[in-house]
Amino acid sequence: MLGRMIIGGALTMALAACASDGTPPPASPPALAMTCKADRVQGLVGTVITDEIAQRAKRRAHATLLRVLPMGAMMTMDYRTDRLNIILRPGRKAMRVTCG
């Protein structure tokens, strides 16, 4: 009997600790503005990409970061609204141009 009272008391205290104090939850962070504009450089698809062309594409897309990767390469999955991604086929031809 004493054991049930102790368990009951512990559960009551645990639930009370989770109770709201009436303050609203914090607002979700504002959505990030997309600064990269991949649509401005879609003409690169099928083009051989040199370092100079990639840097020009970065400026034209208003991106602050550039990532040039071969098709199938491992990449981080963090989403950056200011990053231009150029995915290459063999022969350094652009296969896909995206932001993120």
What's the CATH number where 44 sits? 3.30.10.10
How far the first Cα of the chain sits from its last, in Å, is 61
Is the Cβ–Cβ distance between 49 and 55 less than 8 Å?
Answer: no
* Residue 81 pLDDT greater than 90, yes or no: yes
Is the Cβ–Cβ distance between 45 and 94 less than 8 Å?
Answer: yes
With respect to residue 76, please indicate whether it lies within any of the assigned structural domains.
Answer: yes
* Residue 44 pLDDT greater than 60, yes or no: yes
Least-confidence region, from 16-25, 35-44, 67-76 = 16-25
Q: What is the mean pLDDT of residues 14-43?
A: 73
With respect to residue 11, please indicate whether it lies within any of the assigned structural domains.
Answer: no
Token code pair at residue 5: 């009272």
With respect to residue 74, please indicate whether it lies within any of the assigned structural domains.
Answer: yes
Provide the residue range defining the domain that includes 68. Answer: 38-99
> Which of 73, 68, 43, 74 lies closest to 55 in space, CA to CA?
68
Q: How many domains would you assign to the chain?
A: 1
- Residue type present at position 37: K
Q: Around Cβ 71, how many Cβ atoms within 10 Å?
A: 11
